[in-house]
Structure 1
Amino acid sequence: MPDVTYLGLTESALSQLGGLWTAREITQQPAMLRETQALLMARRSEIETFLQPLLALPTLRVILTGAGTSAFIGQCLAPVLAARLGRRVEAIPTTDLVCAPQLYFEADTPTVLVSFGRSGNSPESLAAVELADRLVKDVRHLVVTCNADGALAGYAQRSRGLTLQLPEATHDRSFAMTSSFSCMTYAALAVFSGVTVLDGRVDAIARATERMIGDYAGVMQAAAAEGYERVVYLGSHIFQGLAREAGLKLLELTNGALVTMFDSPLGFRHGPKTIVNGRTLVVVFFSNNAYTRSYDLDLLGELRRDDDAARVIAITAQDGVGLARSDELSVQGLETADDAELLFPYIVAPQIFAFFQSLRLGLAPDKPNTSGTVNRVVQGVRIHELS
């Protein structure tokens, strides 16, 4: 029986390279998105019973929280959910909530704390929900996790909360979060948009993500071989959160060997653009919104005129960017989709690029930090008593 392949490499080769879990978890994302939607549909009544009375409160505050990649989920979703719900939706990392709870929690504001956690065992995750219970008079917990045995899942079950346990395969075993990120993001988007709303869209999103992996894994492998020393990810509004996640994946999987930066196309001009030189790759996530896209195009035109970057790549669902064909990563089938639906196919190219950069540097993508000072679940955090 022939070896199964992931990202063009066989299972046996990936095992020897220490990258089997990372490659498998990147590749499984289309299937996991479909499984996540099926899970949400099965629990639709329970989800609606929990959320509908809360969303009816005109003063409701929704806080999207997590640490690291889990925090970036909130940054990707907060603007679009605020617009859809007509409620106050904020992305505040647990790492902020825990170190300065007096600045973030509001005692008299009814609050839903949405906690994201791959393992649900990060010290800050549990501390954040405990502080919320202590400092907010009316708080409810929605936990989105990939680990049924995590402390966070157990806490929500014991409190006035709801735990959304995602498919077991999304509990990524690799160091870097990939399918856990995309599926927790999808789950929150679906739950707050209406579970049935995305039921008719999940196949298009999954197909587009699948095609991105199939069409551009080789392109990303070749880009990794070009030896860039600096990589910049740029995106407007919700894509700025995605740019931050893309940069973190590269930093994690290369064990900090490459300089990474994220920003918005408009913000990039205000000083950060000084990072660009002849060894810099710039990647721009393009919006489908015509107005926002005009700013993305302006920045792209400026980068081309500057001619300082080694390479500029556009990830786009619409034609008309104007780069060479090899520098346009085209998402198929979502040309008229809402930008939130593009989060899922857009992120896979940076994930694949980071994976091949890790291999190029002789690292094991499943465990790239050779010193053991950075871990899959954060260690060494001491939670101080709040007087």
Structure 2
Amino acid sequence: MTSTHYTVPTQQDGGHTAAEIAQQPRIWRDVGRIIENSRQALDGFLRPLLAEENLRIVLTGAGTSAFAGQIVRAALARRTGRRVEAIATTDIVSDPYDVFAEDVPTLLVSFARSGDSPESVAATQMAEHCLTRVAHLAITCNSEGWLARELPTLSASYVLLMPAASNDRGFAMTSSFTSMVLAVLLAFGAVDGPQEVEGLAAAAEHLIAGVMDDAIDAVVARRPERLVYLGSGALKGLAEESALKLLELTGGAVVASSESALGFRHGPKAVLNDRTTVIVYVTNDPYTRCYDLDILTELRAGLPVGAVVAVAGSQDGLPGEGTWLVPGATDIEDAALALPAVVCAQLIALRSSLALGIRPDNPFPSGEVNRVVQGVTVHPLPQRRTTER
């Protein structure tokens, strides 16, 4: 098979998207400095909240921003010792009285590239309406968005503004996604300062620099009609984000889906055929890793050579062929591993888009899907439902 190498495309055919993927290591270093410079004020905001034994932390966003919460949830729960849940703004807005049924002290952590989507605004307002005690931490990339402008008017609020360059101009969220994931991990101490940030940035630079070109080109050259991403634990959220990137940047031309390693056998495995490619994110957790290795063995026995790829931080238990290693990531938290690992999915999505003749910066030229969601009507809240006893 002859692989085709891709150069960074021009702005006309997708340069914003390519540049925003490539800039991520630099952006992460900037995020590290932002958190370091904000440490005293940020700790002053978080410390009294985390002292509440019954604090509930809700991580929220829509689409890619919701997946950010899914990726970091377990890491934040371990770090804080508090109840942490990832609930999409779309679920909050459609049934706020269910999501906020317990009137307990709550920290709502909002991830938002633009900070202007109807659900981001409404979720904040509905939390205020439903809860007696709620504080807000917004992590956003747009200094002019609603969250950045209006949230500071609330007494219990803090806005973490990401570097201006992270407010992606391309259609799909790339550097915005990873900058917000890194920011919340740093904010809660789940990533340990400059040294770990530098390691993650160096790993991403290694992947972006071209060492993965042949492997990624081989995946794209197969022209899969279906591509499945699998991941366990925190990496299930990464699998969901990876599938969404491919759907977005190819304008839906490649059917992409995601599941957990164990969940895949329970129906979703029906998607497999000889035109399917499967990419498995392999966890660093020794126990959970057993299930990832099991599904890899099973899939490789039933699919053509080259159709199954493992992306991992460690070679342990994996063959050399068909394994993409993230350098320097042997022992890191899965939520941190997701940052350089997602670069692989971003590059697959970008190059698949170009191979199909689609402009990654504008994969939906007719406007049926928009960069900032449109067409959402937020309906007035009814009275809280009560159950008669």
| Pairwise same-fold verdict (TM > 0.5) | yes
Q: Which amino acid is the alignment partner of residue 9 of structure 1?
A: T
Q: 1:318 to 1:107 in 2, by over 3 A?
A: closer
Deviations 1:236-265 (CA, angstroms, capped at 9, x unpaired): 100000000000000000111111110111
After TM superposition, the structure 1 = structure 2 runs for residues 245-284 of structure 1, keeping only pairs within 5 Å, are 245-284=241-280
In 1, the alpha carbon distance for the partners of 2:147 and 2:305 equals 44
Deviations 1:248-301 (CA, angstroms, capped at 9, x unpaired): 000000111111110111111111111111000000001111111111111111
Q: In the alignment, which of 184, 188, 191 is matched to residue 188 of structure 1?
A: 184
Q: Which amino acid is the alignment partner of residue 337 of structure 1?
A: I
In 2, the alpha carbon distance for the partners of 1:107 and 1:299 equals 38
Q: 1:309 to 1:386 in 2, by over 3 A?
A: farther
Q: Is the 8 A contact 1:279 1:310 kept in 2?
A: no
Q: Is the 8 A contact 2:79 2:190 kept in 1?
A: no
In 2, the alpha carbon distance for the partners of 1:120 and 1:45 equals 24
In 1, the alpha carbon distance for the partners of 2:301 and 2:6 equals 36
- What TM-score results when the alignment is normalised by the length of structure 1? 0.94
In 1, the alpha carbon distance for the partners of 2:288 and 2:30 equals 32
TM-superposed deviation, 1:198: 2.8
- What TM-score results when the alignment is normalised by the length of structure 2? 0.93
TM-superposed deviation, 1:216: 1.1
TM-superposed deviation, 1:112: 0.4
1:131 aligns with 2:129: no
In 1, the alpha carbon distance for the partners of 2:349 and 2:66 equals 20
In 2, the alpha carbon distance for the partners of 1:247 and 1:194 equals 25
In 2, the alpha carbon distance for the partners of 1:309 and 1:111 equals 49
In 1, the alpha carbon distance for the partners of 2:62 and 2:213 equals 28
In 2, the alpha carbon distance for the partners of 1:322 and 1:58 equals 42
In 2, the alpha carbon distance for the partners of 1:295 and 1:120 equals 38
Q: Is the 8 A contact 2:75 2:190 kept in 1?
A: no
Q: Is the 8 A contact 1:280 1:310 kept in 2?
A: no
What is the alpha-carbon root mean square deviation over aligned residues?
1.5
Q: 1:194 to 1:252 in 2, by over 3 A?
A: closer
Residue segments in structure 2 that go unaligned for 5+ positions in a row: 383-389
Percent of pairs with identical residues:
46
Deviations 1:213-255 (CA, angstroms, capped at 9, x unpaired): 2221343133212211000000010000000000000000011
Look up the match of 2:67.
72
Deviations 1:294-339 (CA, angstroms, capped at 9, x unpaired): 11111111112223686000001111444453x2111111212222
Q: In the alignment, which of 298, 307, 312 is matched to residue 311 of structure 1?
A: 307
Look up the match of 2:110.
115
Q: Is the 8 A contact 1:148 1:165 kept in 2?
A: yes
Q: In the alignment, which of 336, 346, 351 is matched to residue 346 of structure 2?
A: 351
Q: Is the 8 A contact 1:276 1:309 kept in 2?
A: no
Q: Which amino acid is the alignment partner of residue 286 of structure 1?
A: V
Q: Which amino acid is the alignment partner of residue 49 of structure 1?
A: G
In 1, the alpha carbon distance for the partners of 2:71 and 2:168 equals 20
Q: In the alignment, which of 40, 44, 57 is matched to residue 49 of structure 1?
A: 44
1:286 aligns with 2:286: no
3-state SS of the aligned residue for 2:262? helix
Q: Which amino acid is the alignment partner of residue 127 of structure 2?
A: A
Q: Which amino acid is the alignment partner of residue 45 of structure 1?
A: Q
In 2, the alpha carbon distance for the partners of 1:332 and 1:194 equals 20
Deviations 1:149-188 (CA, angstroms, capped at 9, x unpaired): 0001122111120000000000000000000000100101
In 2, the alpha carbon distance for the partners of 1:42 and 1:226 equals 47
3-state SS of the aligned residue for 2:229? strand
Q: 1:79 to 1:322 in 2, by over 3 A?
A: closer
1:385 aligns with 2:380: yes
In 2, the alpha carbon distance for the partners of 1:222 and 1:96 equals 38
Give the aligned length: 376
Q: Is the 8 A contact 1:121 1:150 kept in 2?
A: yes
Look up the match of 1:210.
205
Q: Which amino acid is the alignment partner of residue 64 of structure 1?
A: L
Q: 1:150 to 1:218 in 2, by over 3 A?
A: farther
Runs of 4 or more off by more than 6 Å in structure 1?
none
3-state SS of the aligned residue for 1:193? coil
In 1, the alpha carbon distance for the partners of 2:261 and 2:141 equals 33
1:168 aligns with 2:164: yes
In 2, the alpha carbon distance for the partners of 1:356 and 1:249 equals 11
1:150 aligns with 2:145: yes
Q: Which amino acid is the alignment partner of residue 371 of structure 1?
A: S
In 2, the alpha carbon distance for the partners of 1:322 and 1:199 equals 30
Residue segments in structure 1 that go unaligned for 5+ positions in a row: 1-6
Q: 1:31 to 1:386 in 2, by over 3 A?
A: same
Look up the match of 1:9.
7
Q: 1:194 to 1:302 in 2, by over 3 A?
A: closer
